């Protein structure tokens, strides 16, 4: 497979997103005095970036799961949620861009590459911006649910998500 | 693990952690992935309605000759945000110039073209289908499909041009040709001296023989030249086929058979082909270019097979060959073959065996060690004994060391100038 300009664009965009996600999560951890956490985040980021450079197929998945766990752990140890949210958004972007890059590399030719990449980036950007706005708004909300309601909400989330995934698995060839 | 499944699992884990820990921030973390999933779901592609047409620059080509494959994919359905189309190239063919796969976006009614060049080894190739994967812009949901795009390609074996191969079957056909017929008559080669018959041209009178006899005229007789029946037998038994890094021995045998068929047919003979393995693949004898094409097509699909219950050439369908005709066996030979070859000689077939040397072919690939050397020597002695017995039966045996090109072997061993003397029967 030949290395083409569109691969370079997505490759750099993915690398930048990994760096920014690492920076956001690392800064949030270090601001909260969690130096070990910051180091672990830096190591995960470095490994993710290396995996991306060497084109390990599982690198995006590992990096994504690692950073989402790091963001969740950050919330658990009461680090600022805004930093975690920002880190997660950038992680999502990096994960997406790496998979997009992988998809570009699986083919020998990309037609209308600029249009394809622009369309993808625009859609991703919209999703991230809406996600960021929704996240920030959600952070400002304070809704208290009794235990029963929480259980019910969790059950609905469980069954709803399981149903959607089951349907998708059936139709997603 | 599919991406949407990973994303769903993480969302679910965040929601449940948030609910159990009574911490809304976890729920907030689940919002962007949830939106990402939702956005991909909204953009999810419908089942694609695509048509593919395939055209090949030719459906018949010589080995390693390029063939241009063109595919046109037409979208009869709605817009496809991302489409990966990948042609499934049959094993044995190699794509060189161009691309066999493409990623594109396809509007309704639009087309995308794929064009590439193929080269390949001898064989019959069937193109079955084209793989298409349509997905949303985020690439989270994919619909995979296989579109029928049939096509056939025949890659014929290389037939080296041999200048001539001289054979002397015990019986020829009635039509004039280039094979000595073992009968006196009009011809070029001196055949003998006989007494004058009314009508013989005077320039044929042999003055010396006439001078020795009183009142009798003698004339020179020439050997008639006619076309002959030639049966080619290609040994396609798996057990005869030695396979090493440089490729299988069988390929060399196939190319030699193609070259022989070509030269015999060019010289006007009637040629048939039997590929002997677990199944007997028979090309009925015929003349000319059409028969050459039939034989090359048969050789293109030649494969090696094995049957445990058949060791030697026992199942050779000898009734297919006219009695006393020329038979050319192309085989590395097995010890068990001797009996059948003796039977062929007993039935007065004129037998020519071209035997690619499997021992040298295999030993060279095994590297040098004392064990290999010893095993090679033993195998060589066994082979020499077999060939010696065949020569004693009157079989012409050409041992082909595969380092030497076949045309050179054919020139040295099979042209009349160099060929071993054969008794006139």
Task: Give Cα B173 to chain centroid, integer Å.
Answer: 30
Mutation for B interface: A75, A150, A163, most B CBs within 10 A: A75
Contacts of B20 in chain A (CB under 8 A): 150, 154
Which residues lie closer than 8 Å to B113 by C-beta, 6 or more apart? Answer: B70, B71, B72, B73
Strands of chain A, DSSP E: 109-110
Per-residue confidence (pLDDT) for residue B417, from 0 to 100:
52
Copy the structure tokens of residue B126: 């069937």
Q: For B44, which residue in chain A has the nearest alpha carbon?
A: A172
Q: What is this model's ipTM?
A: 0.88
Q: Do B96 and B119 touch, CB atoms closer than 8 A? A: yes
Q: What is the pLDDT of residue B181?
A: 65
Chain-centre distance for alpha carbon B333:
19
pLDDT for residue B416:
61
Per-residue pLDDT tens for B173-202?
Answer: 767 777 776 777 777 778 888 888 888 888
Q: Which tokens in the block code for residue B32?
A: 């962007």
Q: What is the pLDDT of residue B425?
A: 33
Cα dihedral A28/A34/A36/A39 (nearest 10): 20
**Residue B85: closest CA among chain A residues belongs to which residue?**
A107
Q: Check residue B129 and report its DSSP letter.
A: E
Which residues are within 8 A (CB) of B251 and not within 5 positions of it... i.e. 6 or more apart? Answer: B121, B122, B157
Give the alpha-carbon dihedral of B186, B188, B192, B198, to 10 degrees: 30
pLDDT at B382: 92
Beta bridge partners of B243: B248
Residues in chain B closer than 8 A to A2 (CB atoms): none
* Mean per-residue pLDDT of chain A: 84
Q: Which residues of chain B have pLDDT under 70?
A: 174, 181, 244-247, 308-311, 416-425
pLDDT value, residue A171: 63
Residue A139 with chain B: CB contacts under 8 Å: 24-25, 28
- SS3 (DSSP) at B294: helix
Question: B47-79 as b/e, with b when 16 or more CB fall inside 10 Å?
Answer: ebebebebebeeebbebeeebebebebebebee
Neighbours of B99 (CB within 10 A): 19
Q: Which of B115, B112, B113, B111 is nearest to B95 (CA)?
A: B115
The sign one gets for the Cα dihedral A84, B1, A166, A158 is negative
> Whole-angstrom Cα distance, residue B41 to residue B349?
76
In order of their start, the domains of chain B are 3-42 (no CATH), 50-156 (2.60.40.10), 176-226 (no CATH), 229-414 (3.40.50.410)
The predicted model gives A87-91 an average pLDDT of 92
Question: Residue B368, exposed/middle/buried by CB under 10 A (0-12, 13-18, 19+)?
Answer: exposed
Taking the C-alpha atoms of residue B27 and residue B85, their distance in angstroms, rounded to an integer, is 39
Reported as a single tens digit per residue, the pLDDT across A106-141 is: 888 888 888 888 889 999 999 999 999 998 888 777
Helix (H) or strand (E) holding B71: strand B67-75
- Which residue(s) pair with B282 in the sheet? B274
Contact B29 A100 (CB under 8 A): no
pLDDT (tens digit, 9 = 90+) per residue, A52-81?
888 788 888 899 999 999 999 888 888 888
| Residue in chain B nearest A60 by alpha carbon | B3
């Amino acid at each position: 497979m030949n290395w083409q300009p569109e691969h370079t664009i997505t490759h750099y965009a993915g690398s930048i997103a990994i760096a920014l996600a690492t920076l956001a999560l690392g800064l949030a951890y270090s601001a909260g005095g969690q130096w070990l956490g910051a180091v672990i985040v830096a190591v995960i980021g470095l490994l993710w970036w290396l995996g991306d450079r060497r084109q390990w197929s599982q690198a995006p998945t590992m990096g994504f799961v690692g950073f989402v766990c790091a963001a969740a752990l950050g919330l658990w140890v009461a680090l600022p949620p805004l930093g975690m949210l920002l880190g997660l958004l950038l992680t999502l972007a990096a994960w997406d861009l790496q998979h997009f890059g992988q998809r570009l590399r699986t083919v020998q030719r990309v037609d209308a590459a600029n249009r394809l990449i622009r369309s993808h980036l625009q859609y991703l950007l919209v999703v991230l911006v809406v996600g960021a706005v929704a996240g920030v708004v959600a952070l400002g909300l304070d809704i208290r649910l009794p235990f029963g309601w929480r259980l019910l909400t969790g059950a609905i989330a469980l069954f709803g998500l399981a149903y959607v995934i089951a349907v998708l698995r059936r139709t997603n060839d | 693990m599919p991406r949407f499944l990973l994303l769903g699992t993480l969302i679910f884990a965040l929601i449940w952690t948030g609910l159990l820990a009574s911490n809304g921030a976890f729920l907030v973390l689940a919002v962007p992935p949830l939106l990402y999933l939702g956005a991909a779901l909204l953009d999810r592609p419908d089942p694609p309605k695509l048509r593919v047409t395939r055209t090949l620059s030719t459906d018949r080509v010589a080995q390693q000759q390029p063939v241009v494959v063109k595919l046109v994919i037409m979208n009869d359905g709605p817009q496809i945000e991302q489409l990966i189309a990948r042609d499934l190239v049959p094993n044995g063919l190699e794509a060189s110039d161009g691309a066999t796969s493409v990623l594109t976006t396809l509007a309704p009614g639009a087309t995308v073209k794929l064009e590439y060049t193929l080269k390949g080894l001898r064989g019959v190739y069937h193109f079955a289908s084209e793989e298409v994967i349509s997905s949303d812009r985020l690439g989270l949901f994919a619909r995979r499909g296989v579109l029928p795009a049939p096509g056939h390609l025949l890659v014929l074996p290389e037939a080296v041009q041999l200048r001539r191969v001289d054979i002397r079957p015990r019986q020829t056909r009635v039509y004039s040709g280039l094979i000595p017929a073992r009968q006196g008559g009009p011809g070029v080669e001196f055949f003998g001296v006989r007494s004058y018959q009314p009508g013989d041209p005077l320039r044929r009178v042999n003055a010396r023989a006439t001078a020795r006899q009183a009142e009798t005229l003698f004339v020179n007789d020439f050997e008639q030249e006619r076309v002959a029946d030639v049966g080619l037998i290609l040994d396609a038994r798996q057990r005869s086929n030695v396979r090493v890094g440089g490729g299988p021995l069988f390929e060399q045998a196939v190319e030699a058979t193609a070259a022989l068929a070509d030269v015999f047919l060019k010289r006007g003979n009637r040629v048939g082909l039997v590929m002997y393995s677990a199944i007997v693949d028979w090309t009925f004898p015929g003349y000319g270019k059409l028969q050459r094409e039939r034989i090359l097509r048969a050789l293109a699909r030649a494969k090696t097979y094995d049957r445990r219950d058949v060791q030697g050439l026992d199942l050779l369908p000898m009734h297919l060959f006219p009695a006393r005709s020329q038979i050319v066996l192309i085989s590395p030979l097995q010890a068990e073959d001797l009996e059948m070859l003796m039977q062929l000689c007993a039935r007065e077939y004129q037998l020519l065996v071209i035997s690619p040397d499997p021992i040298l072919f295999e030993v060279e690939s095994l590297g040098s060690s004392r064990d290999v050397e010893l095993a090679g020597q033993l195998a060589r002695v066994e082979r020499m004994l077999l060939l010696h017995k065949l020569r004693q039966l009157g079989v012409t045996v050409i041992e082909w060391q595969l380092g030497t090109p076949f045309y050179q072997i054919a020139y040295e061993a099979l042209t009349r100038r160099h060929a071993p003397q054969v008794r006139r029967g």
